[in-house]
Structure 1
Amino acid sequence: MSEPNELLRAARERTPSPSTPGAHMSRAELAEAVCAWLWATTDTRYELDGHYIAKLERGAVRWPGAAYRSGLRQVLNVATDSELGFTQAGGPGPLCPEGSSCSMAGMEDELIDSGDESISLLALAEESNVGGLTVEQLHADIQRIAQNYLKVPTKPLFQRSVAIRDRAFRLLSGRQPPQQTRDLYAAAGWALTLLGWMSVDLGRPDVAESHTRTAWACADASGYNELRAWVRATQHTVAFWQDDVEHAAEFAQDGLQYAAGSSALFLASAAALDLARAGRTDEAREALDQAQRTTPDSAVPEVGGVFLCTPERAAGLWSDTHLALGEPRLTLEHADRSVSLFEQAPHAVRNPGSERMVRLQQVKAHLLLGELDGARECLTPVLATKTEYRMRPLIHRVSEVAALTRTTQYAEDPKAQVLQQAIREFVRFPATIRDPLEQATSKVNA
């Protein structure tokens, strides 16, 4: 049997009930107060209930998720987790305690953590506080995350990016040769840029701004221009999805002075799109012409994934630029070419997030041209996107498609109404990073 968590229970019982004078807070009231605080501070709904609080007090769970620990500390007015009896696993005990499951299901986070811990030990195996193998491993991890983003579940990649950022800064607090210091700043910068990109996709561009400010400082400290360029590309993306196209254009244009690899193609194309959306038509056409004449330096090493602008990704940005310029036929021409190239690309370099957005540009172009059947055909693979990959920008663009199907041209068309219903179902379930304990609680309550 698990040892009861007397500290947690005592903390709850010395906290007054918000509804019954003279009584202490019940488990249900505690859960409700934690959820209310998390909603107020994170704008995220959690489903903690009294049953889960009882589980914590029984000691069945000794280390709840970070969000729940924060909420419990706040509501119960304590400063540390240890005051609530929370301790991480690792003490002695039976290999498979009575009443628990020894299944490997749900072990993904633990597997990631164990790998991170092993990697961190490289520093101890080398002569200085950080050696070449440690730095090499950090950068290899960054490449793997960037190349797998939107191909595998987001949460483990997000957590791993946080771990890389934290490990790089811990190592920077020690002593190492100047080149290794620059490489550590670069690793931290890439990890922060990944976190910025993911935060935009998860609907929190405000959080992304915090990541990218620190990423820019790291890029400056590292001296790596290609990192500077991709930080600016990410800052462009942050501003773009906040409808601040003027600042987005400024970030894209400033980034071009550092860009040499495929970042040059991305930034030039992004600048054209920003200028078109800002209504600066002549400048947009000039920037688009420059983008289409841009040839990345193949000698520049590429991280890959979101930090790689392939010809198909660039063509997608050009199609969006023509859409902003009110040219649906040119939009469709570039979008069709882009999708064709995506479909031919090897899995290792195929960018599914960009591909979905380009397919939506196909849909919009068909609708503007009065081609409802063509729009439906292009929309079908997008609506098949799994819930965990339905990022906020994708939801936003799909909603724009829905708006086009409600225009006068399609108002009474039964086929358009079918599309509207399909889109309504799609946008009901956006992707989110949820606390694993929240997921477990949701399943128990279902």
Structure 2
Amino acid sequence: MAAQRARRFALTTGQTDLTPEAMEQVHADVQRLAMEYPQRPLSELLPDMIETQDTIYTLLERQRRPGQARQLYLLAGVTGGMLAKASHDLADPHAALTQARTAFMCADQADHNGLRAWIRGVQSLVAYWAGRTREAVQYAQSGAEFAALAGSTAKVWLPMNEARAWAALGNVDKSRVAIQRAEDAWASVQEDEVDELGGLCTFGRVRQIYYAADALTWLPSEAEAAQDYAERAVLEYEDESTPEWAFGDQAGSRAGLAIARIRMGELEGATEAVLPVLDLAPEQRINGIVHSAQRVHRALRDSPLAEEGSDLQEQIEMFTRTPLKSLPR
């Protein structure tokens, strides 16, 4: 508590120009949140995220030198993007897209193409999980030009977002083309200021594998490829000590493997894949995980394994009754 009070005093005491130490503190606050977001329950981070956003907005409301203002707008945009993801995780796409629009405005104020591209990725992600798949495609495509100019890992993330949305729409060819475009993009990727924050702000190889699995599970004709990608993703996410580890993506990879195995007629393998997901505490049952579990339920319901898999369906139903959004806040 004393450290938090000292931090607020250092950042908001009436100085026209922020000291290098103060700017370093704001950057460190945002970077910590970006690194911890994929790995910790949202309830543990949300108060700090809200306070950090409020602090940055307060600092921007005072006159700043152009260089400082640009950096603050960049950090405000990143924080807004994380809060957009938080609203999405709480199953509130309207609030998520509101945060994202403000974050994109901050990206414009900072004139930062990497941030513009990353926010478009956030918007595409929110739209995808909200079932607005054509909107998800549009967001991903509209960010491509910014990503090309920035050269950041958003060059990979955006076409992978597009691949998932095309697959959800049942378009095998466009999904496959987008997956290949993402793979080709690695040849020209260079990390920018957003990537350097790490965690939620960058897109790595393991996450790409998970996205490919998630995309292909929408397509019955691609069950074997989906299983291959999902098995690789599950294996990669076993190591919780790596910077790329994320409990949401780990759960999504397991759900994808379960769907692929259901399509292959392997109920026992599907059950083995998804049971660790169903053991997650309610604090970790974010919107994407709940939707992924529901997709397993639907795949089982619509398969010849439905009767045999009734116990697993019941377990999934029990799991989805207490999502994160149902907990008191």
Using structure 2 for the length normalisation, give the TM-score.
0.91
Which residue of the partner structure matches residue 209 of structure 1? 97
Q: Which has the higher helix share?
A: 2
Change in Cα spacing, 1:363 to 1:166, as seen in structure 2 (3 Å) is same
Deviation digits for residues 62-100 of structure 1, max 9, x if unmatched?
xxxxxxxxxxxxxxxxxxxxxxxxxxxxxxxxxxxxxxx
Q: What corresponds to 1:261 in structure 2? A: 152
User: Partner residue of 1:183?
Assistant: 71
Alignment of 1:333-412 (within 5 A): 333-344=228-239, 346-407=241-302, 409-412=304-307
Distance 1:123 1:405, change over 3 A: closer
The one-letter amino acid of 1:266's match is W
Q: Determine the structure 2 residue equivalent to 1:271.
A: 162
Bigger drift between 240-249 and 194-203 goes to 240-249
Counterpart in 2 of 1:239?
A: 127
Matched, 1:317 2:211: yes
After superposition, what is the alpha-carbon deviation per residue over 1:205-237, rounded to whole angstroms, capped at 9, x for unaligned?
011111011000001101222211111011101
Partners of 2:262 and 2:51 in 1: CA distance? 44
Shift of 1:435: 5.5
Contact kept in structure 1, 2:128 and 2:165, CA below 8 Å: yes
Cα distance in 2, alignment partners of residues 165 and 404 from structure 1: 40
Of 400, 417, 420, the residue aligned with 2:313 is 420
Deviation at 1:198, TM superposition (A): 0.8
Mapping of residues 154-233 of structure 1, within 5 Å = 154-233=42-121
* Amino-acid identity (%): 28
Deviations 1:287-328 (A, max 9, x none): 221112221634434222222211111011111222223310
Aligned amino acid, residue 235 of structure 2: S
- Please show how residues 16-165 of structure 1 align to structure 2 within 5 Å: 111=1, 114-123=2-11, 128-165=16-53
Q: Distance in 2 between matches of 1:279 and 1:366?
A: 19
RMSD between aligned residues = 2.1
Q: Equivalents in 1 of 2:211, 2:6: separation in Å?
A: 41
Give the superposition deviation at 1:352: 1.5
In 1, the alpha carbon distance for the partners of 2:255 and 2:12 equals 50
In structure 1, what is the Cα distance between the partners aligned to 2:318 and 2:38? Answer: 21
Aligned with residue 291 of structure 1, among 182, 202, 207: 182
- Compare relative contact order (CA 8 Å, sep 6+) and give the higher one, 1 or 2: 2
Which amino acid in 1 is paired with 2:37? Y
Asked whether the 8 Å contact 1:123–1:130 carries over to 2, the reply is: yes
Q: What CA distance in whole angstroms lies between the structure 1 residues aligned with 2:236 and 2:315?
A: 27
Q: Which has the larger radius of gyration?
A: 1
* 1:329–1:365 Cα contact (<8 Å) kept: yes
Q: Deviation at 1:154?
A: 1.5
The residue number in structure 2 matching 1:77 is none
Tell me, in whole angstroms, the C-alpha distance in 1 between the residues paired with 2:116 and 2:294.
33
Residues 17 and 64 of structure 2 are in contact (CA less than 8 Å); yes or no, is this contact kept in structure 1?
Answer: yes
In the superposition, the TM-score normalised over structure 1's length comes to: 0.68
The alignment covers a number of residue pairs equal to: 322
Unaligned segments of structure 1, at least 5 residues? 1-110, 437-446
Which residue identity lines up with residue 283 of structure 1 in the other structure?
K
- What one-letter code is carried by the residue in structure 2 that aligns with 1:418? D
**Structure 1 contact 405–420 (Cα < 8 Å) conserved:** yes
Q: 1:124 to 1:418 in 2, by over 3 A?
A: closer
Report if aligned partners of 1:116, 1:163 keep a CA contact under 8 Å in 2.
Answer: no
- Is the CA contact (8 Å cut-off) linking 1:150 and 1:389 kept in structure 2? no
